[in-house]
Amino acid sequence: MSMRVLHGGVLSLLQDAGRFGAHRLGLTNGGPMDFEAFHYCNQLLQNMPDCCAIEISVGGLQLESLVDTWVCLTGAEMPLLINDQECERWCVHPVAAGDRIRVEYAGRGCRAYLGVADGFRIPPYLGSASTVMREGVGGLNGVALQRNDQLPCQANVRRRRLYLPLSEQPRYPGQATVRVIPGYQQRHFNRTEQRRFFGAPYAVTERSDRMGYRLSGSAVRCNINGVLSEGICHGAIQIPPDGQPIVLLNDRQTIGGYPKMGAALRTDASRLAQLRPGDTVHFAAVTPGTARRILSLEQRFTLRKTLREH
Amino acid sequence: MLPSLSPTMQCVGADALMLYFGDEISAATGAQVHSATALIDAHLGNDVVDLVPSYSSLLVIFDPLQFTHVEMTRRLRAIFQREAAEPSTGSRVVELPVYYAAETGPDLTTLAREAGLAVAEVIELHSAREYQVFAIGFAPGFAYLGELDERIARPRHASPRERVTAGSVGIADRQTAVYPADSPGGWNLIGRCPTRMFDPEGDPPMPVAVGDRVRFKPISREQYLALGGTLP
């Protein structure tokens, strides 16, 4: 029971919630760049929250279902076609053996999640099926999906046709405000430099990927060149000697020695991951207490959101 | 009994606390990081998501919906106050064989010349010491070992090689390491080790862990090949 890849698109990767507990071996997290859209994908499909889905960057994925099951597409505005018929995004659809699923290029946003009932059944590596190409682990042989890959999945599962109403769906405008908990070497950036960092707009550059988003804008100077290599958490904002910030994301190196200003909140990192080259980013400082309040509010809000049924 | 650990703790992210034990590379600081890692494993195992020990710091990742930073800080302090830091003398010593030669270490001859030493002396200095595993990162299985004898310390190449063969033994400043996989790299290469530093199917996947000690043992070309080593 599986789906067959007809076309891998620009970059399509099998991702579950991510690999945790393997930093000590030098392995990074992987996992969905946009946690929010990934979460909705599994929630709509009535799956366990860490079920493996396909993260489609930019677009262009085509699959043939070899099984009767259910699929759902969330995230960036990539048109979904089943047998050339355009279908609603953020909605569970039945597919039958022989059906062709096509995900077109994104109008807005950058990453979409195509999930299937019960998730793709990929054997986990160190606790996770998440693909990290740089490390060559996870997914199918640690690489992106390509033509004729077989993606195992369950048949004969029962699902309700849930959907997220348009008014509740996240939007992907070409800009994001990224809230940051100042930390790490923050005190080595003087007041002027910090004001610059938290005041100036930054543009997403072409050199942005799953490792990190490299931004360009007003250069930020640090009083020190570097520190002893230390652990880098998700969202950490590194300022290399050229002063241009890099927000380190899912496939980041686990340790590094460039000065860091602090770390972005996970929700905002999700929004950042939907931006494309040329889009605008602003940073805003928040205290750990505020960050926690934001987090618990969001969680309550997500739990309360009512999914409708067709 | 050793004094209890009292790192500086800093919130560095919504789900992260950084513990700083010092700001220099030293065996003593490394031992503290190692002790703290072991204590957290033993007493907080299920309540932390991940740990990243490094030279003088330990990054603790936790679930922010389960604990606040204040709660996590308190729990860590309580453990460090209650439990004595374990002496690090009990850590393992792992022996890694190395075939030091120009054919496996393209920088060996240059490094020796620039250091004003004979090639044999470079090999002798590199393999005489017991190194500490200070950190693992950069790539899966890449272990940063220190500290190297100053006489053979060399900065990284200004422009890294596009491809360094897996097993290559490199030097960067006062650190040394074995490349676990083919990758780009800027370290000075002096030989090659036939032991796999990262085996995805292995249990454990790595022969060393942070806090272990490593000693390099010079081997001949024949021994290297017999141990499964490959030549360019």
Q: Scanning the structure block, which residue is given the tokens 């009083």?
A: A223
Tell me: do A130 and A277 sit in the same domain.
no
Distance CA(B23)–CA(B43), nearest Å, equals: 26
Give pLDDT, residue B16: 97
Contact list in B for residue A21 (CB cut-off 8 A) is 49-50
pLDDT in tens, A142-182: 999 999 999 999 998 999 999 999 999 999 999 999 999 99
Predicted confidence (pLDDT) at residue A73 exceeds the cutoff of 70: yes
Give the residue among A112, A98, A259 at the shortest CA–CA distance from A172: A112
Give pLDDT, residue B88: 54
Distance CA(A233)–CA(B16), nearest Å, equals: 7
The tally of CA atoms less than 13 A away on the side-chain side of residue A296 is 10
Tell me: do A133 and A190 sit in the same domain.
no
Give pLDDT, residue A156: 80
Q: Are strands A11-15 and A53-57 parallel, antiparallel or unpaired?
A: antiparallel
Report residue B91's pLDDT band, with 50, 70 and 90 as the boundaries. Answer: confident
Distance CA(B57)–CA(A265), nearest Å, equals: 22
Q: Domain for residue B232, yes or no?
A: no
The total domain count for chain B is 2
The total domain count for chain A is 2
Q: Domain for residue B231, yes or no?
A: no
Q: Domain for residue A134, yes or no?
A: yes
Q: For all residues of chain A together, what is the average pLDDT?
A: 96
H-state helical runs in chain A: 35-44, 191-199, 266-272, 288-304
Tell me: do A117 and A236 sit in the same domain.
no
Vertex A217, ends A213 and A219: CA angle to 5°?
Answer: 100
By 3-state DSSP, what share of chain A in percent is helix, strand and coil, each rounded to 5? Answer: 15, 30, 50
Distance CA(B27)–CA(A18), nearest Å, equals: 33
Q: Domain for residue B1, yes or no?
A: no
Beta bridge partners of A175: A280
Report residue B203's pLDDT band, with 50, 70 and 90 as the boundaries. Answer: confident
Tell me: do A150 and A185 sit in the same domain.
no
Q: Domain for residue A283, yes or no?
A: yes
Instruction: Name which of A27, A178, A268, A299 to mutate to probe chain B: the one with the most chain B Cβ atoms within 10 A of its Cβ.
Output: A27
Tell me: do A148 and A269 sit in the same domain.
no
Query: Rounded to 5 degrees, what are φ and ψ at B74?
Result: -60, -45
Give pLDDT, residue B90: 58
Ramachandran bin of A210, using left for φ above 0, alpha for ψ from -120 to 50, beta for the remaining angles: alpha
Q: Domain for residue B121, yes or no?
A: yes
Give the residue among A134, A258, A277, A95 at the shortest CA–CA distance from A189: A258
B24:A230 CB<8 A = no
pLDDT in tens, A80-106: 999 999 999 999 999 999 999 999 999
Name every residue whose Cβ is closer than 8 Å to that of residue B222 and which is 6 or more positions away in sequence.
none
Distance CA(A251)–CA(A29), nearest Å, equals: 6
* Measured CA distances, A132 to A41, A139, A250, B196, B209 (Å): 21, 8, 9, 20, 22
Q: Domain for residue A64, yes or no?
A: yes
User: Quick check: ipTM above 0.90?
Assistant: yes
Q: Which of A24, A135, A184 sits opposite B209 (nearest CB)?
A: A24
Tell me: do B23 and B73 sit in the same domain.
yes
Eight-class DSSP state of B71? H
Give the CATH number, domain containing residue B21. Answer: 3.30.1360.40
Question: Which secondary structure element, helix H or strand E, spans residue B102, and what is its range?
Answer: none
Q: Domain for residue A129, yes or no?
A: yes
Q: Domain for residue B211, yes or no?
A: yes
Mean pLDDT of A214-227: 94
* Measured CA distances, B164 to B29, B123, B137, B181 (Å): 31, 20, 17, 8
Tell me: do A39 and A131 sit in the same domain.
yes
Report residue B2's pLDDT band, with 50, 70 and 90 as the boundaries. Answer: low
Q: Domain for residue B26, yes or no?
A: yes
pTM equals 0.93
Contact list in B for residue A26 (CB cut-off 8 A) is 136-142, 180, 198
Q: Domain for residue A169, yes or no?
A: no
The answer to whether A60 and A103 have CB atoms below 8 angstroms apart is yes
Vertex A241, ends B181 and A210: CA angle to 5°?
Answer: 45
Vertex B205, ends A13 and B32: CA angle to 5°?
Answer: 110
Tell me: do B161 and B57 sit in the same domain.
no
Express as a percent the part of chain A with pLDDT over 90: 92
The answer to whether B103 and B224 have CB atoms below 8 angstroms apart is no
Cα of B120 to nearest chain A Cα, Å: 31
A233:B53 CB<8 A = no
The answer to whether B27 and B132 have CB atoms below 8 angstroms apart is yes
Tell me: do A98 and A156 sit in the same domain.
yes
Give the CATH number, domain containing residue B183. Answer: 2.40.100.10
Q: Domain for residue B20, yes or no?
A: yes
Tell me: do A261 and A295 sit in the same domain.
yes
Q: Domain for residue B51, yes or no?
A: yes
Tell me: do B96 and B82 sit in the same domain.
no
Q: Domain for residue A57, yes or no?
A: yes
Cα of B30 to nearest chain A Cα, Å: 12
Mean pLDDT of B3-20: 94
Contact list in A for residue B10 (CB cut-off 8 A) is 183-184
By 3-state DSSP, what share of chain B in percent is helix, strand and coil, each rounded to 5? Answer: 30, 30, 45
Distance CA(A120)–CA(A65), nearest Å, equals: 12
Mean pLDDT of B138-147: 92
Domain boundary pick from B89, B105, B133:
B89
Report residue B172's pLDDT band, with 50, 70 and 90 as the boundaries. Answer: very high
Predicted confidence (pLDDT) at residue B1 exceeds the cutoff of 60: no
Give the CATH number, domain containing residue A222. Answer: 2.40.100.10
Domain boundary pick from A129, A164, A199:
A164
Tell me: do B74 and B119 sit in the same domain.
no
Give the residue among B54, B45, B41, B52 at the shortest CA–CA distance from B13: B52
Mean pLDDT of A38-53: 97
Q: Give the number of other CB atoms < 10 A from CB of residue B212.
A: 19
Give pLDDT, residue B89: 52
Tell me: do A66 and A157 sit in the same domain.
yes
Tell me: do B105 and B219 sit in the same domain.
yes
Helix (H, G, I), strand (E, B) or coil at B16: strand
Tell me: do A198 and A59 sit in the same domain.
no
pLDDT in tens, B107-130: 999 999 999 999 999 999 999 999
Q: Tell me which amino acid residue B115 is.
A: A
Instruction: Name which of A19, A20, A23, A180 to mutate to probe chain B: the one with the most chain B Cβ atoms within 10 A of its Cβ.
Output: A23
Predicted confidence (pLDDT) at residue A300 exceeds the cutoff of 90: no
Give the residue among B118, B122, B146, B148 at the shortest CA–CA distance from B134: B146
Q: Give the number of other CB atoms < 10 A from CB of residue A262.
A: 25
Domain boundary pick from B89, B118, B136:
B89
Report residue B208's pLDDT band, with 50, 70 and 90 as the boundaries. Answer: very high
Express as a percent the part of chain A with pLDDT over 70: 100
Interface of A with B (CB under 8 A): 20-27, 125-126, 134-137, 181, 183-184, 227-236, 253-256, 260, 262-263, 265-266, 288, 291-292, 295-296, 299
Mean pLDDT of B41-64: 95
Report residue B86's pLDDT band, with 50, 70 and 90 as the boundaries. Answer: low
DSSP letters, A197-256, are HHHS-EEE-SS--SSEEEEEES----SSS--S-EE--TTEEE--TT---EEE-TT--SEE
CA B49 to chain centre: 21
Helix (H, G, I), strand (E, B) or coil at B192: strand
Distance CA(B116)–CA(B109), nearest Å, equals: 11
Q: Domain for residue A309, yes or no?
A: no
Tell me: do B71 and B104 sit in the same domain.
no
Give pLDDT, residue B23: 87
Distance CA(B182)–CA(B168), nearest Å, equals: 9
Domain boundary pick from B89, B107, B128:
B89
Range of the domain at B55: 8-89
Tell me: do B77 and B147 sit in the same domain.
no
Question: A204 is written with which tokens?
Answer: 């997403």
Q: Domain for residue A15, yes or no?
A: yes
Vertex B113, ends B109 and B115: CA angle to 5°?
Answer: 115
Range of the domain at A217: 175-303
Domain boundary pick from A141, A164, A187:
A164
Tell me: do B26 and B132 sit in the same domain.
no
